[in-house]
Amino acid sequence: MGTLTIRDTKVIPHRYVRRIWRAKRLAREELDAFAWGKHNYQEQDFWIHEPHVAAPTIDYDRVSEKDFIRLYEAPSIPVNIVGVTRDWPAAWRWTPRALLEAFKQEKFKVSEDSHGDPVKLSIPYYLHYAMVSGEAQRDDSPLYIFDSGFGRRKVEPHHDAKRQRTSEQRKDRVKADLLDDYTVPKYFTDDLFRLTGRRRRPPYRWIVIGPARSGTGIHVDPLGTSAWNALLQGHKRWVLFPPSTPKDVIEPNSLPDHEASSWFAKMIPKLNEVQANGQTLGASLGMQQILQGPGETVFVPGGWHHVVINLGIVLAFLDFLERLSARLTRPFRPADFTVAITQNFASRTNLEEVWLRTRSSRPKLAKKLLTRIEKLGSIDPFYSGLRDQIYRLNTVPACPPSSSSSSSSSSSSSSSSSDDDS
């Protein structure tokens, strides 16, 4: 991956302090500048050490689309998939150094403010925060790039360049197209919400980048959609619960905040407590865990509660590095980093749950989807089957309002899908 230095990021120190503090203040207005590390979570080890129920792992090249639907998607079983990213250019292109060089003038979303507006940082300042300054290593829940607009990033030229180009030339100047660097896995190509058009469809794909302890608080993906998350660098720990799990048990009001690090610090010990029946609380709830490594892709069925944390260097190895650093003239500060791509999707398999929740929470979006399916159904048997499936749901009562949380949202690193049908 390569370690970055201030010579790479080229940030101006006083601007760095001002911009990071502004982003933090907007992201979590309840915290002052000195409270981001008040829980000392940097001293905790969030890797999996206790016995646990692991979600199944499959080989992408050995399981067909038909078998995946039959064995995992239809019965709603989370699974870790090995080999999806093997031929992706993103697997070797999406490094911090490459992103820094490609998007020096670009700003990426790192959170939302209290009004739901995006909080953004430029790549040089974010990477300096996450990998160079040491600040992210001290924060309990660091800022986390969670950006749905990564598909085509247009360069914002320097002021001198602005005077030399027309606005139309600037608009057409595309620095890079990250969409060319990966392919949607064969299991998840249905993507029925694409039929509603760009203006109507909710946010559905994100690039997610962050250091250790950044992550996403416990949530359920919106509108009954399922999700896949392909990890290119680093490690993630996932904890998942079946749809029937009582929310007040796995997300009690006693939690200090909605951050992933707080959830793992407070809830994992409780879930590992052995009950009178000899089972841990987590096992009795059907809890599953995944330790996701580079090149692995996690499938999350619709309705499953899940929480994800990006992992750092294990403490024993970190202690060794610190002892080694003490002998060096320039201290070595290890920087852990994760880079992933994630998408939510609606397919023929989860259409029933998606339709009922969309019809209830986003009626205009549902109408647009049905109109397009009806039109295509007149010429394509695949869509006529979907149309008939939707018609059979007309007498089914409305579902409760769907969660607006995205597949990887948290208060310090969130990207909520809009519920505005305008």
Per-residue confidence band for 257, with pLDDT thresholds at 50, 70 and 90: very high
Mean pLDDT of the residues in the chain: 86
Is residue 410 predicted with pLDDT exceeding 60?
A: no
Q: What percent of the chain has pLDDT over 70?
A: 82
The more confidently predicted of residues 315 and 26 is 26
> Which residue matches tokens 């359920």?
220
Q: Higher-confidence residue: 168 or 106?
A: 106
Are 119 and 111 spatial neighbours (Cβ–Cβ below 8 Å)? yes
Closest by CA to 204, choosing from 365, 421, 418, is: 418
Residue 213 pLDDT level (bands cut at 50, 70, 90): very high
pLDDT band at 171 (very low <50, low <70, confident <90, very high): very low
What mean pLDDT is predicted for residues 233-239?
95
Q: Which of 142-156, 266-280, 402-416 has the highest mean pLDDT?
A: 266-280
Provide the pLDDT for residue 402: 54
Q: How confident is the model at residue 417 (pLDDT cuts 50, 70, 90)?
A: very low
| Residues 24, 10: Cα–Cα separation, whole Å | 21
Give the pLDDT of residue 127: 96
pLDDT in tens, 175-194: 457 899 999 999 999 999 99
**pTM metric for this prediction:** 0.87
pLDDT digits (tens, 9 = 90+) for 258-284: 999 999 999 999 999 999 999 999 999
Q: Is the dihedral of CA 108, 112, 117, 119 positive or negative?
A: negative
Per DSSP, 376 falls in state: H
Please determine, for residue 206, whether its predicted confidence score (pLDDT) is greater than 70: yes
**DSSP character string of 105-135:** T-EEEEEE-TTS-EEEEEHHHHHIIIIISSH
For the cut 90, the answer to whether the pLDDT of residue 28 exceeds it is: yes
Using CA atoms of 403, 408, 413, 419 in order, give the dihedral in degrees to the nearest 10.
Answer: -30
**What are 62-95's pLDDT values in tens digits?**
999 999 999 999 999 999 999 999 999 999 989 9
- pLDDT tops 80 at residue 341: yes
Q: What is the pLDDT of residue 157?
A: 45
Q: Is the pLDDT of residue 159 over 50?
A: no
Backbone phi, psi, residue 397, to 5° = -60, 160
Strands 305-310 and 215-219: antiparallel
Report the pLDDT value the prediction gives residue 126, as an integer from 0 to 100. 97
